[in-house]
Amino acid sequence: MNLIFFIKSATVNLTKYTIKDIPGSSGRLDVVSRCVLAALLNKNGFEENLEIWTFLDNFGTYIFNPQLLDYETFPKTELLLTDLFVNFLQGRLKDNPLRSITISDITMIKAIKKFQGLNYEVFILKEDGLPFLDLISEIIEMNSIFIIGSQEDKFLNTKELLELNLQTVSFGAQSYLASSVIRLLKLHIRAL
């Protein structure tokens, strides 16, 4: 089973970035960093057969593939990852442990269609979806992509995405942080 997370951000903006106020000065790049860490890391190293794709409206698409990253030098805290990712986005790659992140100009819609052609099942995680635990036995048998958005994510309700008729799954009516959803999903999949 291969597992990919898609996360999209329309708000990342680095024109006023300062490490002293990452949430307020980066357009919430800290949320993206938290999701990357939640997806890629486990207690012993990097997760296997897992990637996270970040679609940043103002910067492009960045693919974090653990097979291309060095665990020893990879930043393992939100603060360090965010600061190094900012450096990466600003083109400061020398000695940057993130320099092996793959950069793409593919949009999320095109990426979804590409992976559907490769027989991946694509799920949107939303509070009003089908119960995840009811589908988990099927999910662990297939290559899957999970699209994670925020509660008020306008993209998840766009005509372009809705026309793809993707299945929505949910962890219930409780609101969770995106990084917590990733951890919960991984815990349930690993348990099986």
Q: Which CATH number fits domain 1-192: 3.30.200.20, 3.30.465.10, 1.10.3470.10, 3.40.1280.10?
A: 3.40.1280.10
Is the distance from CB of 101 to CB of 73 less than 8 angstroms?
no
Tens of pLDDT along 73-112? 999 999 999 999 999 999 999 999 999 999 999 999 999 9
Element (H, E) at 150: none
pLDDT: is 176 or 83 the higher one?
83
Q: Which residue is listed with tokens 């509660």?
A: 151
The mean pLDDT of 33-53, rounded to a whole number, is 96
Give the confidence band of 154 by pLDDT, cuts at 50, 70, 90: confident
Element (H, E) at 31: helix 29-40
Structure tokens at 175: 């609101």
Q: What is the pLDDT of residue 115?
A: 97
Per-residue exposure over 25-55, b if at least 16 CB sit within 10 Å of its own CB, e if not = bbbbbbbbbbbbbbbbeeeeebbeebbbbbb
pTM of the entire structure? 0.93
Pick the range with the lowest mean pLDDT from 73-87, 125-139, 152-166.
152-166
Query: At residue 152, does pLDDT exceed 70?
Result: no
Domain range summary for the chain, segments of one domain joined by +: 1-192
Distance of alpha carbon 69 from alpha carbon 101, whole angstroms: 7
Pick the range with the lowest mean pLDDT from 28-32, 84-88, 124-128.
124-128
